[in-house]
């Protein structure tokens, strides 16, 4: 909903800010500065200017309106309503467009407060005030849609089509409404209309149509539409469909279509990456890794290294998971979430000291994120660091009271210390909040701790019934029955979880939920069996990735570090820039290489915008370099950009550096040390 509101705000600032002939809007210093700050996305500064404005001109209803918008955007709904009261009294009645906006903003606030009747009333008044504003009709149609009043929503979208027959809003809205009612063929008709009107540059009509085709089980057509949508702008919905609907129901069709696309665009890293997503979500992790590595050969990114790490972890190959996430961290050292993933892989590999050190590093970088504290508490919980776990769980609860897993963990720790009252309070909190069974549920444990065994078993069964193919559903059941002392059923569920792909053997061996099973022959035989099965025979992988150390000489000129590279056989000097994303070169070098056959027209991939040092955006041609040699190292198929500037330096960025390995600069010896695989 807020996305639509922000779009409307932009329209107001850049469109309605143009004065109507019979309406004079404010032209004071503070008001104009506030508008400028809003345009620049500086809400806090804008609010200060508007506050100064209403101090000097308390009847400036426009300033009160923008203050209400900023308050609404920061979820201060009561204050927003108070500002809107003043706005409605002071915005001139003849400025109908702005009056309509004030009323619709009040509707937005009521909508956020889940007072839908009041929101609908406000939208209705706004429409009466400014009946030709399609955004207002869309606001009300959206709310009707969300409360399931599809007929009323359709009427509003019909009005939008009447007002703007060449636009997309009305047709897309009606298509979405009928799709939600499983009227897929009708939905396809509406999306076809949008494709006819704006198909070349409007990806959503294809991604929504793909979803409708999938509903009809016409997966080949769905796959074609997903690829079209992704080709236009990497459409988020289309990307989601890759990993959900298509991975579940038509992975072979989807990956086949993506392979064809790769053949059409062999230098585009995105298509093997998308194939990796489908394979990964289909639990074909080896194929996913293969695709991600191919993508990285074309364009190395930390995101792709992260996906590779996740796949290795799913295979139980934590050493390669850690190696891959280290590559991601090296490329984006400020991306704290990768350090969290590393700590998880270390914990699952039994490297508990390293896991604790890395989760501590996450907390230092982002101290107010609840999950880092929860995760540290979880590690400590299973390492019998009871007091430390209580402290970290408590911090997580303080930062996010709604994350009920923290209450469960703390309740278990309190129970271990004999603090039963505190434990019971935490367990009651869990069952009051965790009411919808999911793979992230834990109410079954809390019910059992509260002495309500039947409810625990029933809740656990609802999870399994809802997610019968998820191995974690059965692992949680094993933990529950182990807590209940029913060892036979616990072993059965543990076996099922392992059969379905649960691979966190190191965690199983430390999870205190399973302590009562440790000495049983059934448990020991089961773990031995699956330890052998999940031990990755990665000797060949390690041979291929054996560390090598290379020293590359560099020179310094004008404060920059330069290294000699050979690009497709042409020696060039590049600036060694760890902050650049790609290899970049000016049009001068690129033209020379093309004329002298170091590049061919087939090496051109596409275009991309880059931010230059002076803050300007420069459009660059993207090319594929077949060979990049640095010292004794050679990389193939490296992504590079040609900047339309005669004086752009040759930059050696992360699309090369991220593939080399660990990099250290020895200023004394004037060499760059590369430790790679």
* pLDDT one-digit tens code per residue, 153-175: 999 999 999 999 999 999 999 99
Q: Is residue 371 part of a domain?
A: no
639 contacts 297 by C-beta, under 8 angstroms: no
Residue with more model confidence, 559 or 424: 424
Domain count, the chain: 5
Residue with more model confidence, 439 or 148: 148
636 contacts 297 by C-beta, under 8 angstroms: yes
Residue with more model confidence, 9 or 522: 522
C-alpha to C-alpha distances, 127 to 64, 96, 293, 509, 669, nearest whole angstrom: 21, 10, 54, 63, 73
Rounded average pLDDT over 295-318: 91
pLDDT of res. 548:
61
Q: Is residue 537 part of a domain?
A: yes
Contacts of 536 (CB under 8 A, 6+ apart): 315, 316, 317, 320
pLDDT of res. 244:
84
174 with 233, same domain: the answer is: no
Say how far apart CA 518 and CA 514 lie, in whole Å. 7
Say how far apart CA 358 and CA 656 lie, in whole Å. 27
C-alpha to C-alpha distances, 483 to 20, 256, 473, 492, nearest whole angstrom: 72, 46, 16, 14
pLDDT of res. 607:
55
560 with 637, same domain: the answer is: yes
Contacts of 434 (CB under 8 A, 6+ apart): 404, 441, 442, 443, 446
Q: Is the pLDDT of residue 275 over 60?
A: yes
Which range of residues forms the domain containing residue 17? Answer: 1-107
Structure tokens at 663: 């990099």
Rounded average pLDDT over 557-561: 69
User: Model confidence over 326-338: pLDDT tens digits?
Assistant: 999 988 888 999 9
pLDDT of res. 629:
82
pLDDT of res. 611:
41
Order of all β-strands in the sheet with 671-676: 548-553, 671-676, 662-666
Q: Is the pLDDT of residue 343 over 80?
A: yes
Out of 267, 294, 321, a domain closes at 294
Q: Is the pLDDT of residue 676 over 70?
A: no
Structure tokens at 512: 């205190």
667 contacts 626 by C-beta, under 8 angstroms: no
C-alpha to C-alpha distances, 312 to 136, 243, 538, nearest whole angstrom: 49, 18, 11
Residue with more model confidence, 380 or 613: 380
Q: Is the pLDDT of residue 534 over 90?
A: no
Out of 171, 186, 202, a domain closes at 202
Q: Is residue 378 part of a domain?
A: no
Contacts of 518 (CB under 8 A, 6+ apart): 524
481 with 532, same domain: the answer is: yes
pLDDT of res. 119:
95
437 contacts 462 by C-beta, under 8 angstroms: yes
Rounded average pLDDT over 292-297: 94
Phi/psi class of residue 562: alpha, beta or left (left: φ > 0; alpha: ψ in -120 to 50)?
A: beta
pLDDT of res. 209:
97
Rounded average pLDDT over 590-606: 76
pLDDT of res. 618:
46
Tell me the three state secondary structure of residue 623: strand
37 with 67, same domain: the answer is: yes
pLDDT band at 577 (very low <50, low <70, confident <90, very high): low
User: Model confidence over 615-637: pLDDT tens digits?
Assistant: 443 456 777 787 888 877 777 77
505 with 581, same domain: the answer is: no
Q: Is residue 340 part of a domain?
A: no
Say how far apart CA 336 and CA 339 lie, in whole Å. 5
- The number of helix segments (H) and strand segments (E) in the chain equals 35, 11
Spatial CA neighbour of 139 closest among 100, 171, 166, 167: 100
482 with 570, same domain: the answer is: no
Residue with more model confidence, 258 or 579: 258
667 with 551, same domain: the answer is: yes
Contacts of 441 (CB under 8 A, 6+ apart): 434, 459, 463, 476
Q: Is the pLDDT of residue 360 over 70?
A: yes
Q: Is residue 115 part of a domain?
A: no
81 with 29, same domain: the answer is: yes
CATH number at residue 164: 1.25.40.10
494 with 536, same domain: the answer is: yes
Lowest-pLDDT range of 225-239, 263-277, 663-677: 663-677
558 with 519, same domain: the answer is: no
In this prediction, what percent of the chain has a pLDDT beyond 90?
61
pLDDT of res. 116:
94
pLDDT of res. 170:
95
Lowest-pLDDT range of 72-76, 127-131, 440-444, 628-632: 628-632
Lowest-pLDDT range of 66-80, 389-403, 536-550, 612-626: 536-550
641 with 565, same domain: the answer is: yes
Please list, residue by residue across 646-673, b when 16 or more beta carbons sit within 10 angstroms of its beta carbon and e when fewer do.
eebbbbbbbbbbbbbbebeeeeeeebbe
pLDDT band at 396 (very low <50, low <70, confident <90, very high): very high
609 with 504, same domain: the answer is: no
Q: Is residue 283 part of a domain?
A: yes
Out of 150, 168, 202, a domain closes at 202
187 contacts 178 by C-beta, under 8 angstroms: yes
pLDDT of res. 327:
92
Q: Is residue 63 part of a domain?
A: yes
Q: Is residue 493 part of a domain?
A: yes
Q: Is the pLDDT of residue 498 over 50?
A: yes
Mean pLDDT of the chain: 86
């Amino acid at each position: 909903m807020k996305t639509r509101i922000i779009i409307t705000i932009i329209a107001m600032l850049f469109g309605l800010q143009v004065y109507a002939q019979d309406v004079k809007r404010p032209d004071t210093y503070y008001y104009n500065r506030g508008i400028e700050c809003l345009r620049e996305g500086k809400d806090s500064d804008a609010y200060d200017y508007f506050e100064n404005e209403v101090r000097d001109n308390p009847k400036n209803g426009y300033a009160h309106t923008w203050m209400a918008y900023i308050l609404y955007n920061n979820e201060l709904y009561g204050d927003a309503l108070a500002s809107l009261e003043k706005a409605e009294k002071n915005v001139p009645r003849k400025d109908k467009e702005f009056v309509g906006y004030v009323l619709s903003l009040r509707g937005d606030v009521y909508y956020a407060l889940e007072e839908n009747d009041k929101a609908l009333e406000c939208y209705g008044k706004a429409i009466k005030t400014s009946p030709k504003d399609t955004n207002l009709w869309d606001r009300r149609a959206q709310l009707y849609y969300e409360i399931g009043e599809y007929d009323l929503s359709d009427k509003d979208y019909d009005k939008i089509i009447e007002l703007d027959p060449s636009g997309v809003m009305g047709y897309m809205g009606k298509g979405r409404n009928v799709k939600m009612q499983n009227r897929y063929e009708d939905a396809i008709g509406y999306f076809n209309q949008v494709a006819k009107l704006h198909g070349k540059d409007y990806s959503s009509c294809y991604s929504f149509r793909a979803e409708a085709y999938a509903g009809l089980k016409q997966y080949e057509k769905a796959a074609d539409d997903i690829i079209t949508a992704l080709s236009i702008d990497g459409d988020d919905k289309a990307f989601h469909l890759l990993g959900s609907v298509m991975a579940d129901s038509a992975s072979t069709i989807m990956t086949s279509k993506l392979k064809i696309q790769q053949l059409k665009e062999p230098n585009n890293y995105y298509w093997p990456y998308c194939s990796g997503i489908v394979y990964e979500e289909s639990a074909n992790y080896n194929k996913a890794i293969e695709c991600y590595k191919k993508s990285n050969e074309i364009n190395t990114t930390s995101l792709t290294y992260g996906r590779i790490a996740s796949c290795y972890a799913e295979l139980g190959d934590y050493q390669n998971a850690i190696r891959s996430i280290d590559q991601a961290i090296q490329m984006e050292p400020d991306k704290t979430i990768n350090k969290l993933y590393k700590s998880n892989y270390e914990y699952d590999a039994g490297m508990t000291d390293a896991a604790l050190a890395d989760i501590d590093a996450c907390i230092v970088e982002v101290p107010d994120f609840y999950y880092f504290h929860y995760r540290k508490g979880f590690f400590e919980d299973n390492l019998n660091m009871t007091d430390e776990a209580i402290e970290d769980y408590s911090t997580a609860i303080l930062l996010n009271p709604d994350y009920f897993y923290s209450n469960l963990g703390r309740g278990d720790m309190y129970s271990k210390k004999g603090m039963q009252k505190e434990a019971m309070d935490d367990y009651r909190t869990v069952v009051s909040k965790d009411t919808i069974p999911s793979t992230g549920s834990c109410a079954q444990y809390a019910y059992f701790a509260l002495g309500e065994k039947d409810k625990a078993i029933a809740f656990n069964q609802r999870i399994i019934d809802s997610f019968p193919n998820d191995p974690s559903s059965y692992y949680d059941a094993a933990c529950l029955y182990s807590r209940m002392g029913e060892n036979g059923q616990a072993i059965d569920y543990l076996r099922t979880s392992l059969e379905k792909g649960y691979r966190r053997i190191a965690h199983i061996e430390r999870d205190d939920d399973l302590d009562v099973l440790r000495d049983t022959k059934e448990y020991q035989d089961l773990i031995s069996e699956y330890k052998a099965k999940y031990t990755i025979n990665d000797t060949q992988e390690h041979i291929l990735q054996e560390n090598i150390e290379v020293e590359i000489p560099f020179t310094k000129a004008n404060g920059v570090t330069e290294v000699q590279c050979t690009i497709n056989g042409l020696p060039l000097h590049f600036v060694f820039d760890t902050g650049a994303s790609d290899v970049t070169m000016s049009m001068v070098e690129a033209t020379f290489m093309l004329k002298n056959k170091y590049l061919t027209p087939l090496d051109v991939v596409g275009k991309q915008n880059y931010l230059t040092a002076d803050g300007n955006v420069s459009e660059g041609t993207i090319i594929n370099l077949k060979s990049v040699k640095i010292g004794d190292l050679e990389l193939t198929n490296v992504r590079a950009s040609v900047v339309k500037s005669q004086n752009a330096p040759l930059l050696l960025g992360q699309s090369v550096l991220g593939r080399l390995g660990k990099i250290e600069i020895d200023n004394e010896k004037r060499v760059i040390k590369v430790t790679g695989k």
